């Protein structure tokens, strides 16, 4: 199985900050990575797919990059609604696997 290792596991930041979350795959997966945001008590929401494609309706302050084994999600200017938990996911091969999550907290 492909392991997805996210870092950091948690991060504190302020409104307006730029934040980057990284995800490393245990083997090369081309660009087959998705990123999700999950607010407490809610279902996850798709932010990015194919590593760098912004899902419809997602603000442009979110961006993704990477290919092969190393991927990142960047939020260019944090807004209050962005404080949540973020997950990467590989969709290169079954079983699909998620990273362990990154909790983004208000400083």
Partner 1 sequence: QVQLVESGGGLVKPGGSLRLSCAASGFTFSDYYMTWIRQAPGKGLEWVSYISRDGSTIYYADSVRGRFTISRDNAETSLYLQMNSLRAEDTAVYYCARVLGGTTPNGAFDIWGQGTMVTVSA
Residue 80 DSSP code: G
Q: Which of 14, 43, 60, 80 binds partner 1 (CB under 8 A)?
A: 43
Binding of partner 1 by 62 (CB under 8 A): no
Q: Which of 23, 72, 87, 104 binds partner 1 (CB under 8 A)?
A: 87
Q: How far is the CB of 81 from partner 1 (least distance, A)?
A: 18
Say how many C-beta atoms besides its own lie within 10 A of residue 99's C-beta: 25
Counting every residue, how long is the chain?
107
Q: What share of the chain is helix, strand, coil (3-state, %, to 5)?
A: 5, 50, 50
Among 2, 21, 32, 73, binds partner 1 (CB under 8 A): 32
* Size of site (CB under 8 A) for partner 1: 24
Cα 9 to its chain centre, rounded Å, is: 12
> Which tokens hold the place of 93?
């091969």
Tokens of 80: 């209050």
Is 98 a binder of partner 1 (CB under 8 A)? yes
Q: Which residues form the interface with partner 1 (CB under 8 A)?
A: 1, 32, 34, 36, 38, 43-46, 49-50, 55, 87, 89, 91-92, 94-101
């Amino acid at each position: 199985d492909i392991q997805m290792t996210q870092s950091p596991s948690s991060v504190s930041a302020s409104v307006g900050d730029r934040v980057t979350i990284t995800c490393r795959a245990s083997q090369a997966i081309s660009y087959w990575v998705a990123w999700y945001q999950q607010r407490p008590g809610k279902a996850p929401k798709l932010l990015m797919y194919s590593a760098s494609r912004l899902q419809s309706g997602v603000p442009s302050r979110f961006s993704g990059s990477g290919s092969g084994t190393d991927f990142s999600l960047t939020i260019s200017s944090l807004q209050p609604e962005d404080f949540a938990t973020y997950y990467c996911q590989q969709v290169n091969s079954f079983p699909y696997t998620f990273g362990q999550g990154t909790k983004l907290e208000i400083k």
